[in-house]
Protein backbone atom coordinates (compact mmCIF):
# COMPACT_ATOMS: atom_id res chain seq x y z
CA UNK A 1 0.00 0.00 0.00
CA UNK A 2 1.44 3.37 -1.06
CA UNK A 3 0.20 6.62 0.42
CA UNK A 4 1.69 10.05 -0.27
CA UNK A 5 1.77 12.72 2.45
CA UNK A 6 2.73 16.37 2.72
CA UNK A 7 4.21 17.67 5.98
CA UNK A 8 1.97 20.56 7.02
CA UNK A 9 3.75 21.52 10.22
CA UNK A 10 6.37 20.28 12.66
CA UNK A 11 5.37 20.75 16.30
CA UNK A 12 8.25 19.70 18.53
CA UNK A 13 8.50 15.91 18.49
CA UNK A 14 5.55 15.46 16.12
CA UNK A 15 4.74 16.28 12.51
CA UNK A 16 1.27 16.97 11.16
CA UNK A 17 0.81 15.18 7.82
CA UNK A 18 -1.93 15.38 5.20
CA UNK A 19 -2.41 12.57 2.71
CA UNK A 20 -3.26 13.28 -0.92
CA UNK A 21 -6.77 12.03 -0.07
CA UNK A 22 -7.09 14.75 2.60
CA UNK A 23 -6.63 12.67 5.77
CA UNK A 24 -4.64 14.38 8.52
CA UNK A 25 -2.47 12.52 11.01
CA UNK A 26 0.12 13.24 13.67
CA UNK A 27 3.35 11.21 13.48
CA UNK A 28 6.33 11.12 15.85
CA UNK A 29 9.43 12.67 14.26
CA UNK A 30 11.58 9.64 15.09
CA UNK A 31 9.48 7.64 12.60
CA UNK A 32 10.27 10.06 9.76
CA UNK A 33 13.49 10.21 7.72
CA UNK A 34 16.20 12.78 8.48
CA UNK A 35 15.79 16.08 6.67
CA UNK A 36 12.00 16.33 6.90
CA UNK A 37 10.80 19.95 7.00
CA UNK A 38 7.50 21.78 6.52
CA UNK A 39 6.29 21.10 2.99
CA UNK A 40 8.26 17.85 2.53
CA UNK A 41 6.64 15.11 0.47
CA UNK A 42 6.68 11.62 1.95
CA UNK A 43 5.82 8.18 0.66
CA UNK A 44 4.47 5.70 3.20
CA UNK A 45 5.16 2.18 2.03
CA UNK A 46 5.93 -1.10 3.82
CA UNK A 47 5.29 0.57 7.21
CA UNK A 48 7.98 3.22 6.74
CA UNK A 49 8.26 6.78 5.40
CA UNK A 50 10.68 7.99 2.74
CA UNK A 51 11.31 11.43 1.29
CA UNK A 52 10.14 11.88 -2.29
Per residue in 3-49, pLDDT tens? 999 999 999 999 999 999 999 999 999 999 999 999 999 999 999 99
What is this structure's pTM? 0.92
| Number of independent structural domains in the chain | 1
Rounded to whole angstroms, how far apart are CA atoms 21 and 10?
Answer: 20
Rounded to whole angstroms, how far apart are CA atoms 1 and 15?
Answer: 21
Rounded to whole angstroms, how far apart are CA atoms 25 and 5?
Answer: 10
Burial class (CB in 10 A: 0-12, 13-18, 19+), 23: exposed
pLDDT exceeds cutoff 90 at 1: no
| Range(s) of the domain holding residue 35 | 3-51
Amino acid sequence: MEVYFTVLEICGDYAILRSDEGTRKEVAMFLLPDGVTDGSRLLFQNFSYELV
